């Protein structure tokens, strides 16, 4: 006899997406309010350009508090150091402000990113995949959400990638790491790609970039050196909107070494153009 499926487990990804969305929204509003009082820098990480603000730290504290209250059995991994072991198998991967440099300069392209992930060896570079996620840009008031198998949405309406398959007429977005050595290589790759595409954008928030891709406002995105908290939620949103995600080669899952996202016809062409 088949094991009955619990209705709660059945709807869990959707419920977790709702939770992620509600926390990303409320914390995003707070992040935007804090910006009105100016930005206070509290430190740097990998290089002097890799900054941390008081708002990053406060936002991470608020997200962790809300998650622990709602789901005390889950683990948490946050960009600003949050780390909590769980027992449920679900680990929340959070970026309190993705696009911190934009936040510093008051450029309206930063977002709060929250994903519920499960262990899935080989799925992404860090061996986990998101089952639910939300990315909120509090300046544009765009709340992107997805759960596995449920499609992707912006402010509740279904979104879809551009389905563009031609590299030469693609608008491609990318980002740059904070380390000089990484940037030297990234600049080289971008310089070679630029004559081969419609144009390149660098918007400064991996999560927001991938949500724009998910809503058809960019044709492709690639970056090397991204961290799980940058892409965990947005990669699911892009995938659920129809994007194909690729890593450096067929044996390497998307993630740190390279993350390429685009329509299935375009992703392999872009990967070939950005790998030596
Ligand atoms: C950064 C942004 C940027 C990307 C960097 C990330 P942060 O995240 O997503 O677009 O190019 O690789 O580190 O530091 O603003 O959270």
For 53-62, what is each residue's pLDDT tens digit? 899 999 999 9
Average of per-residue pLDDT values in the chain: 94
Q: Distance from the CA of 49 to the center of ligand 1, in angstroms?
A: 11
The mean pLDDT of 103-119, rounded to a whole number, is: 97
The mean pLDDT of 155-159, rounded to a whole number, is: 98
Q: Is the CB of 126 under 6 A from ligand 1?
A: no
- Read off the pLDDT band of 9 (50, 70, 90): low
**pLDDT given at position 3:** 41
**pLDDT given at position 51:** 84
Q: Is the CB of 176 under 6 A from ligand 1?
A: yes
pLDDT digits (tens, 9 = 90+) for 194-244: 999 999 999 999 999 999 999 999 999 999 999 999 999 999 999 999 999
**pLDDT given at position 1:** 42
**pLDDT given at position 7:** 42
Q: Is the CB of 204 under 6 A from ligand 1?
A: yes
Q: Is the pLDDT of residue 5 over 70?
A: no
3-state secondary structure 192-234: HHHHHCCEEECCCCHHHHHHHHHCCCCCEEEECCCCHHHHHHH
Q: Is the CB of 226 under 6 A from ligand 1?
A: yes
Q: Which atom of ligand 1 is nearest to the CA of 230?
A: 9
**pLDDT given at position 45:** 86
- % of the chain with per-residue pLDDT over 70: 97
3-state secondary structure the chain: CCCCCCHHHHCHHHHHHHHHHHHHHHHHHHHHHHHHCCCCEEEECCCCCCEEEHHHHHHHHHHHHHHHHHCCCCEEEECCCCEECCCCCCEEEEEEEECHHHHHHCCCCCEEEEEEEEECCCCCCCCEEEEEEEEEECCCCEEEEEECCCCEEECCEECCCCCCCCHHHCEEEECCCCCHHHHHHHHHHHHHHHHHCCEEECCCCHHHHHHHHHCCCCCEEEECCCCHHHHHHHHHHHHHCCCEEECCCCCCCCCCCCEEEECCCCHHHHHHHHCC
- % of the chain with per-residue pLDDT over 90: 86
Interaxial angle between packed helices 12-36 and 54-70, expressed in degrees from 0 to 180 and rounded to the nearest 10:
150
Q: Which atom of ligand 1 is nearest to the CA of 102?
A: 15
The mean pLDDT of 42-47, rounded to a whole number, is: 87
Q: pTM for the complete prediction? A: 0.94
Taking the C-alpha atoms of residue 169 and residue 160, their distance in angstroms, rounded to an integer, is: 19
pLDDT digits (tens, 9 = 90+) for 126-151: 899 999 999 999 999 999 999 999 99
Q: Which of 60, 99, 182 to mutate to test the pocket of ligand 1 (most atoms within 8 A of CB)?
A: 99
């Amino acid at each position: 006899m088949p094991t009955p499926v619990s209705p709660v487990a059945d709807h869990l990804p959707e419920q977790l997406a709702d939770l992620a969305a509600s926390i990303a929204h409320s914390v995003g509003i707070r992040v935007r309010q804090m910006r009105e009082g100016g930005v206070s820098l509290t430190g740097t990480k990998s290089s002097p350009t890799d900054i941390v603000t008081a708002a990053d730290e406060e936002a991470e504290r608020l997200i962790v508090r809300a998650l622990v209250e709602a789901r005390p059995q889950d683990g948490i991994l946050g960009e600003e150091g949050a780390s909590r072991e769980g027992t449920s198998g679900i680990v929340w991967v959070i970026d309190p402000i993705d696009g911190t440099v934009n936040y510093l300069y008051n450029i309206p392209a930063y977002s709060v990113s929250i994903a519920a992930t499960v262990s899935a060896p080989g799925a992404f570079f860090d061996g986990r995949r998101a089952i639910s996620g939300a990315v909120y840009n509090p300046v544009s008031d765009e709340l992107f959400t997805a759960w596995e198998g449920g499609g992707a949405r912006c402010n509740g309406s279904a979104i879809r990638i551009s389905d563009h398959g031609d590299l030469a007429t693609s608008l491609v977005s990318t980002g740059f790491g904070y380390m000089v050595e990484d940037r030297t290589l990234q600049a080289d790759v971008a310089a070679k790609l630029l004559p081969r595409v419609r144009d390149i954008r660098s918007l400064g928030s991996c999560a927001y970039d991938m949500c724009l891709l998910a809503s058809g406002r960019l044709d492709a995105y690639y970056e090397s050196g991204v961290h799980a908290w940058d892409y965990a939620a947005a990669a699911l949103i892009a995938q659920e909107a129809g994007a194909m995600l690729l890593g450096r080669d067929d044996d390497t899952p998307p993630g740190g070494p390279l993350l390429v996202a685009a329509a299935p016809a375009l992703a392999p062409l872009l990967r070939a153009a950005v790998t030596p």
